[in-house]
């Protein structure tokens, strides 16, 4: 492998795509040391990534990597040692199959679609707060609060408690090199709150309760078994998986459009372009840079490289979605791209269950902002923007913009 750009440096975090191009070409299945000290394989080509995401020999159970798990260095947070860590993203079949079936009953694409007017109202309310001022930080004022309020509504968290979630969510978003302690504390707060809410709702459940937590409780009462612990783990993972990802879709998406005048103007002129544009934004600079952890349960081969049993394997979605073997001119933003089957929502049995809601939120947030603030522009050069960093997510710390204040 010829020496390439270094991974995980500040330059890499700002723009990882050149390094991924190098890996795809010279070391498509590459063993490296992560900033946490854990050794892991990075899979960067589209075909290999898609195959790995669907490969049942790659487990999601972090206990497969015993030493790293004990140090809390692998797996998706959720207090791994207790019930709430037993959620979809840390489980394999058959446990995963049973839980996924239950949540799929309660969280259907139709339910997401029914949520459209609510997401539109939330979006407009957030915009009302700053549209007359002429400036905003589109992360702090817009992309960050929208998903957390949307998921709280969906789950059935009473409005008076939603400000707490905004605070806890703020602790979970990594700011620069912020300590992980904030994440652990936020997870504890959410866990305690959700467990109590589920307990309360279970005691008072009526047919009129149509929120998602009530749906989860009900699914468990029809002969299938969802314990209160499992319901709490499920509510937590919906929040955890659906929050920062959507922040990044809106943030990365708006940044891309603010630096692509032609595509932004085309979108403003023709709202029909909204859906394909959001799809292309998901491919071009998606919210999830690296899929969540996988571990080889047996010796296996990916793209001709032998991987021993018991090793962490990370599928780099951001690299796969820029693979020229799959997408012609991959570094070009092209909303008219044909056959845009990106991997931003994953693939296989862990494919994102929130994709319909995420698409809806992304389309409404981006479409409404560009319609209401038609001359919105960056308040500083794009290369001065800071990215949050961290292995899994790709998102901005701030997105300062200016615009002509809205009048009436």
344: Cα separation from own chain's centroid: 9
Please give the DSSP secondary-structure letter assigned to residue 143: I
Tokens 């021993």, located at residue: 308
- Residue closer to ligand HEM by CB (options 59, 246) is 246
Q: How far is the CB of 68 from ligand HEM (least distance, A)?
A: 17
| Residue nearer to ligand HEM on the CB measure, 54 or 131 | 54
130, 210, 217, 318, 356 from 126: Cα distances, Å:
7, 25, 32, 30, 22
Residue partners of 95: CB distance under 8 A and separation at least 6: 86
Identify which of residues 357 and 366 has a Cβ nearer to ligand HEM in the complex: 357
CB of 367 to ligand HEM, least distance (A): 15
The distance of closest approach from Cβ of residue 407 to ligand HEM in the complex, given in angstroms and rounded to an integer, is 33
d(CA 94, CA 235): 20
User: CA torsion, points 354, 360, 366, 370, in degrees to nearest 10?
Assistant: -170
Identify any residues that bridge with 378 across adjacent strands, giving them in sequence order. Answer: 401
| H runs (alpha helix) in 205-273 | 212-221, 228-258, 261-269
Find the shortest distance in angstroms from Cβ 345 to ligand HEM.
5
CB of 288 to ligand HEM, least distance (A): 4
Closer of 22 and 139 to ligand HEM (Cβ) = 139
Measured from the CB of residue 60, what is the shortest distance to ligand HEM in angstroms? Answer: 7
Tell me the C-alpha distance between 346 and 316, whole Å.
10
CA nearest neighbour of 390 among 314, 301, 331, 295? 314
Closest to ligand HEM by CB, 138 or 249 = 249
- Min dist CB 344 to ligand HEM, Å, is 5
Nearest-angstrom CA–CA distance, 382 and 250: 16
- Measured from each CB, the residue nearest to ligand HEM is 354
Retrieve residue 176's tokens. Answer: 């620069």
Choice between 85 and 287, CB closer to ligand HEM: 287
Using CA atoms, how far apart are residues 6 and 10, in angstroms rounded to an integer? 10
Q: Which is nearer to ligand HEM, 346 or 390 (CB)?
A: 346
Give the total residue count for the chain: 408
Measured CA to CA, the distance from residue 46 to residue 112 in angstroms comes to 29
Nearer to ligand HEM, 346 or 389 (CB): 346
Give the DSSP H or E segment for 136: strand 135-137
Q: Which of 231, 221, 208 is nearest to 86 (CA)?
A: 231
Nearest distance, CB of residue 351 and ligand HEM, angstroms: 6
Least CB distance to ligand HEM at residue 330 (A): 18
User: 76 or 401: whose CB is closer to ligand HEM?
Assistant: 76
Inter-residue contact 62 to 75 (CB < 8 Å): yes
CB nearer to ligand HEM: give 88 or 173.
Answer: 88
Where residue 192 falls (left for φ over 0; alpha for ψ -120 to 50; beta otherwise) is alpha
Give me the sheet containing 400-402, strands edge to edge: 135-137, 400-402, 377-378
- Number of neighbours of residue 209 by Cβ within 10 angstroms: 14
CB of 248 to ligand HEM, least distance (A): 7
In angstroms, what is the minimal distance from the CB of 133 to ligand HEM?
Answer: 27
* Residue pointed to by tokens 């905003």: 136
Residues making contact with ligand HEM (CB under 6 A): 53, 88-89, 100, 151, 237-238, 241-242, 245-246, 249, 286-288, 291-292, 344-346, 350, 352-354, 357-358
Choice between 141 and 285, CB closer to ligand HEM: 285
Residue 70: alpha-carbon gap to chain centroid: 25
């Amino acid at each position: 492998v010829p020496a390439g750009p270094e991974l995980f440096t500040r330059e890499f975090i700002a723009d990882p795509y050149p390094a991924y191009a190098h890996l795809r070409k010279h070391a498509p299945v590459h063993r490296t040391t992560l900033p946490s000290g854990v050794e892991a394989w990075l899979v960067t080509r589209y075909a290999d990534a898609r195959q790995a995401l669907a490969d049942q020999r790659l487990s999601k159970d972090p206990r497969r990597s015993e030493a790293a798990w004990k140090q809390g260095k692998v797996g998706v947070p959720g207090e791994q040692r207790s019930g709430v860590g037993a959620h979809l993203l840390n489980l394999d079949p058959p446990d995963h199959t049973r839980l996924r079936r239950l949540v799929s009953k309660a969280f259907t694409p139709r339910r997401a679609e029914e949520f459209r007017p609510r997401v539109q109202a939330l979006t407009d309310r957030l915009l009302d707060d700053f549209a007359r001022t002429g400036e905003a930080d589109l992360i702090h004022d817009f992309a960050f609060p929208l998903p957390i309020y949307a998921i709280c509504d969906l789950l059935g968290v009473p409005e008076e408690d939603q400000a707490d979630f905004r605070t806890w969510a703020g602790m979970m978003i990594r700011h620069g090199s912020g300590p992980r302690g904030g994440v652990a504390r936020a997870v504890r707060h959410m866990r305690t709150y959700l467990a109590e809410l589920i307990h309360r709702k279970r005691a008072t459940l009526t047919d009129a309760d149509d929120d998602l937590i009530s749906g989860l409780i009900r699914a468990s009462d029809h002969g299938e078994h969802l314990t209160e612990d499992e319901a709490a783990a499920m509510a937590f993972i919906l929040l955890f998986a659906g929050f920062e990802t959507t922040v990044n879709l809106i943030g990365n998406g708006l940044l891309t459009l603010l630096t692509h005048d032609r595509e932004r103007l085309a979108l403003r002129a023709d709202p029909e372009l909204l859906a394909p544009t959001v799809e292309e934004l998901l491919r071009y600079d998606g919210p999830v840079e690296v899929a969540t952890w996988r571990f080889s349960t047996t010796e296996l081969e990916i793209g001709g490289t032998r991987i021993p049993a018991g090793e962490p394997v990370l599928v780099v979605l951001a690299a796969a979605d820029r693979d020229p073997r799959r997408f012609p001119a991959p570094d070009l933003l092209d909303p008219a791209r044909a056959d845009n089957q990106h991997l931003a929502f994953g693939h296989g049995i862990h494919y994102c269950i929130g994709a319909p809601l995420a698409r809806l939120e992304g389309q409404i947030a981006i479409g409404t902002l560009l319609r209401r603030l038609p001359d919105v522009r960056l308040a500083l050069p794009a290369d001065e923007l800071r990215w949050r960093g961290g292995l899994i997510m790709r998102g901005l710390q701030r997105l300062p913009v200016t615009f002509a204040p809205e009048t009436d």
